[in-house]
């Protein structure tokens, strides 16, 4: 029962990330928001890793891969989603982000010898990307044309996440999952802090920012990044990787609902239909069992 409570809580936390980003980006801007969010999470992870005395990798190759994942699984997707939400609704961002497992199927097929596309995955890809097409056609409406680049940014973030999933699967299985998360988020913090100091002038003055924006970003860093990762590790240990990643399916409806209830976003049936198609596609692509099942496990985080 406790694991089901944690499952629902994790879906709510990750699903709420998009609304919190929408609240914070208005006053912080993309780079300072992400740098603050990831910086707070990295500090929490460093303290935790030291307290638990987790052993760190010693070989150069592993550190180079961790540095790459810090870019592709933290810095780039966080920045792309945050930048995109300047012009799109948080609910739409949540739906688009749920395409991560679909992209991981394609990338795994191209990059891994033991994970090839089968009939179920093909049908899942068709269903999922039909949902994406509905969103793209929705953007052709003159009332939504300004959001096209925001949607492209979130889709690129999903591709970054999917690429990272495959790289982690192929190279970092031997590492403790908390070490992987803590080190990659710390690398992400380094990248985004450097980029922020170079690109953003002047930097936001925290004392002059609205309290709700500051709270949103602090919650993003400590709850939606650090605590969410801890909950995810707990579920993976209790349920296994494949079952625990079904939390991905909770994120689109939660992000849509929160955006409508608390973000003054308009209800649109096309978003619901697209979300159903994408989630259905992900289920087909990841849960269909061929004669010799080989499943890519991918979780859409933000």
Respond yes or no on whether the N-terminal peptide bond of residue 202 is cis (omega within 30° of 0): yes
Calculate mean pLDDT across residues 230-254. Answer: 79
Give the pLDDT band of residue 282 (cuts 50, 70, 90): confident
pTM of the model: 0.88
- 296 confidence band (pLDDT: 50, 70, 90): very low
Query: Looking at residues 19-32, what average pLDDT do you find?
Result: 97
- Looking at residue 261, its pLDDT comes to 92
Q: What is the rounded distance in angstroms from the CA atom of residue 133 to the CA atom of residue 29?
A: 29
Q: Is the pLDDT of residue 216 over 50?
A: yes
Confidence of residue 166 (pLDDT cuts 50, 70, 90): confident
Residue 28: pLDDT over 70:
yes
Residue 198 backbone dihedrals phi, psi, to 5 degrees: -80, -40
Torsion of CA 52, 55, 57, 63, to 10 degrees: 20
Can you tell me the mean pLDDT for 58-85?
97
Q: Is 54 helix (H, G, I), strand (E, B) or coil?
A: coil
**From CA 62, how far away is CA 171, in angstroms rounded?**
8
Average pLDDT estimate for 100-114: 83
Q: Is pLDDT of 11 > 70?
A: yes
Mean of the per-residue pLDDT values of the chain: 88
Cβ–Cβ < 8 Å for 191, 71 = yes
Q: Which of 52-56, 127-131, 158-162, 195-199 has the lowest mean pLDDT?
A: 127-131
Residue 78 is predicted with a pLDDT of: 98
pLDDT above 70 for 122 = yes
For residue 165, the surrounding DSSP H or E stretch is helix 148-171
Reported as a pLDDT band with limits 50, 70 and 90, residue 83 is very high
């Amino acid at each position: 029962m406790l694991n089901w409570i944690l499952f629902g809580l994790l879906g709510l936390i990750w699903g709420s990330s998009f609304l919190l980003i929408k609240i914070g980006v208005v006053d912080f801007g993309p780079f300072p928001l992400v740098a603050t969010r990831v910086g707070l999470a990295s500090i929490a992870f460093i303290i935790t890793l030291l307290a638990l005395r987790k052993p760190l990798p010693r070989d150069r190759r592993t550190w180079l891969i961790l540095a790459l994942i810090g870019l592709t699984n933290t810095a780039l997707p966080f920045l792309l989603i945050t930048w995109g939400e300047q012009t799109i609704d948080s609910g739409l961002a949540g739906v688009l982000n749920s395409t991560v497992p679909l992209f991981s199927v394609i990338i795994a097929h191209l990059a891994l010898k033991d994970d090839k596309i089968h009939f179920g995955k093909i049908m899942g890809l068709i269903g999922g990307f039909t949902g994406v097409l509905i969103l793209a056609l929705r953007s052709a409406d003159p009332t939504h044309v300004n959001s096209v680049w925001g949607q492209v940014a979130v889709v690129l973030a999903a591709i970054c996440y999917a690429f990272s999933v495959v790289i982690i699967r192929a190279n970092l299985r031997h590492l403790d999952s908390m070490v992987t998360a803590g080190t990659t988020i710390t690398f992400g913090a380094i990248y985004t802090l450097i980029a922020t100091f170079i690109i953003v002038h002047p930097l936001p003055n925290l004392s002059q920012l609205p309290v709700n924006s500051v709270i949103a970003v602090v919650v993003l860093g400590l709850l939606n990044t650090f605590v969410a990762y801890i909950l995810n590790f707990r579920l993976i240990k209790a349920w296994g990787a494949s079952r625990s990643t079904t939390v991905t399916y909770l994120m689109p409806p939660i992000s849509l609902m929160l955006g409508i209830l608390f973000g003054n976003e308009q209800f649109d049936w096309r978003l619901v239909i697209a979300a159903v198609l994408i989630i259905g596609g992900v289920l087909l692509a990841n849960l269909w069992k061929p004669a010799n099942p080989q499943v890519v496990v991918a979780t859409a985080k933000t």
